[in-house]
């Protein structure tokens, strides 16, 4: 009969997923079993140490083996939110395109001519392109989408805000020029408003060129924010350039809001100032509310917050400035007459 020496121990063996540490007693056979730390495994009983998983893997629930981490981004396959954004973007883009076609078809009517139709046309095109920039934010980020998403939206929407500022300046100058002997009459020209759009947009283009030259955005794999997940995101490269781009756009919007608010009550049939005031108020409110939400979220929800801000602010500018004109063009065409305008202005 085979005799087996009994084992001397104070406790049972540690299971896989645990490691043994001394409990400070006199006997080395007495120890304590503690679970492996986050991100580590042990696959043998009575393991002295736990082994960390590779960067692209994570322990299973029992901490006995490493399993691949899941990837997180705004996915077309898994996120319903993507399809909501996609539907909204396509709907508003088609609406903007139809509005643009309507303005082109009625190019020579008084409503379209008011406040510089060329600037209105550029504004509509820039809003349309801003909506289409949303597609750069959806789906798995790659180098080209990271490079284009912020820059393209920043440039296109700045062109739109520059057009709004040019319209506001046009209203201000037009009323100052009505006074007898006013020196402002020489500034009542389409060249002035077009120059405002060109100069203000060029500054943003310069900021973006410097950004792409110094520290362009790139794809980043974030292993540390969420346990068990790899967040595929765009690193903006230079935070200074990124916030300079947003800050400049906000500065133009704030100037437009202040100027439009000052002349919002001036009497005129085609005074767009009150509509510009509402549009810039909405724009500023959305982006001010977006900043804390953007900074407090991570991963795909950070991208979702920015997409929502883009859609809301662009739709606000489109609705506040162009829908009143569209209402007259389509539903009240009898008001789209020079005689009616002159009669109103004489009252």
Token representation of residue 215 = 């520290």
Question: Measured in whole angstroms, how far is the alpha carbon of residue 85 from the centre of its chain?
Answer: 12
**pLDDT of residue 179 exceeding 80:** no
Q: What is the mean pLDDT of residues 53-68?
A: 86
Whether residue 203 is predicted with pLDDT greater than 90 in this model: the reply is yes
Structure tokens at 81: 């939110």
Q: Which of 292, 325, 326, 324 is nearest to 309 (CA)?
A: 292
Q: Which two tokens stand for residue 140?
A: 């798995």
Q: Which residues of 64-103 are buried (b: 16+ CB within 10 A; e: fewer)?
A: bebeebeebbbeeeebebbeebeebbeebbebbeebbebb
Do 190 and 118 touch, CB atoms closer than 8 A? yes
Reply yes or no on whether the pLDDT at 1 is more than 50.
Answer: no
Q: Stretch 182-207: mean pLDDT, rounded?
A: 76
Report pLDDT for 61: 84
% of the chain with per-residue pLDDT over 70: 82
> CB neighbours of 327 closer than 8 A, spacing ≥ 6?
none
Distance, CA of 331 to CA of 319 (rounded, Å): 16
Per-residue confidence (pLDDT) for residue 268, from 0 to 100 = 52
187, 261, 97, 333: CA torsion to nearest 10: -80
Residue % of the chain over a pLDDT of 90 = 16
Quick one: angle between helices 300-331 and 80-105, nearest 10? Answer: 30
- The band of 159, judged by pLDDT with boundaries at 50, 70 and 90, is very high
Q: How high is the pLDDT of residue 347?
A: 40
How confident is the prediction for the chain on average, in pLDDT?
81
Could you give the CA distance from residue 87 to residue 259 in angstroms, rounded to a whole number? 35
**Rounded Cα gap, residues 40 and 79, in angstroms:** 30
pLDDT tens readout for residues 257-304: 888 777 766 655 455 777 888 888 888 888 888 888 777 888 788 888
Q: Please, are residues 14 and 46 in contact by the beta-carbon 8 Å criterion?
A: yes
Give the span between the Cα atoms of 146 and 232, in whole angstroms: 11
Q: Is the pLDDT of residue 226 over 50?
A: yes
Bigger pLDDT: 166 vs 28: 166
Domains of the chain: 18-68 (no CATH), 80-346 (1.20.1070.10)
Residue 345 confidence (pLDDT)? 46
């Amino acid at each position: 009969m085979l005799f087996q020496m009994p084992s001397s121990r104070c406790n049972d063996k540690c299971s896989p997923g645990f490691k043994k540490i001394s409990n400070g007693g006199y006997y080395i056979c007495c120890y304590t079993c503690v679970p492996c730390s986050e991100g580590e495994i042990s696959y043998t009983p009575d393991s002295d140490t736990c082994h960390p998983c590779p960067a692209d893997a994570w322990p299973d629930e029992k901490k006995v083996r490493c399993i691949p981490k899941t990837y997180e981004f705004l996915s077309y396959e898994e996120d319903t939110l993507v399809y909501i954004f996609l539907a909204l973007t396509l709907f508003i883009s088609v609406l903007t395109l139809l509005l643009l076609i309507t303005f082109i078809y009625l190019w020579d009517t008084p409503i379209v001519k008011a406040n510089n139709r060329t600037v209105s046309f550029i504004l509509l095109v820039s809003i349309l392109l801003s909506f289409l920039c949303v597609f750069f934010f959806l789906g798995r980020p790659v180098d080209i989408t990271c490079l284009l998403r912020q820059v393209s939206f920043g440039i296109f929407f700045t062109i739109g805000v520059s057009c709004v500022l040019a319209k506001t300046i046009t209203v201000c100058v037009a009323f100052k020029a009505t006074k007898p002997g006013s020196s402002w009459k020489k500034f009542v020209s389409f060249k002035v408003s077009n120059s405002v759009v060109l100069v203000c947009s060029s500054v943003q283009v310069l900021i973006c060129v410097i950004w792409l030259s110094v520290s362009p955005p790139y794809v980043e794999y974030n292993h540390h924010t969420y346990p068990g997940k790899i967040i595929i995101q765009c690193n903006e490269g230079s935070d200074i350039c990124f916030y300079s781009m947003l800050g400049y756009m906000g500065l133009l919007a704030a100037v437009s809001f202040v100027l439009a608010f000052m002349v919002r009550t001036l009497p005129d049939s085609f005074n767009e100032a009150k509509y510009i005031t509402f549009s810039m108020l909405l724009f500023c409110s959305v982006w001010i509310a977006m900043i804390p939400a953007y900074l407090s979220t991570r991963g795909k929800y950070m991208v979702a917050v920015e997409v929502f801000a883009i859609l809301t602010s662009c739709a606000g500018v489109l609705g506040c400035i162009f829908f009143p004109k569209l209402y007259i063009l389509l539903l009240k065409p009898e008001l789209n007459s020079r005689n009616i305008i002159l009669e109103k202005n004489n009252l």
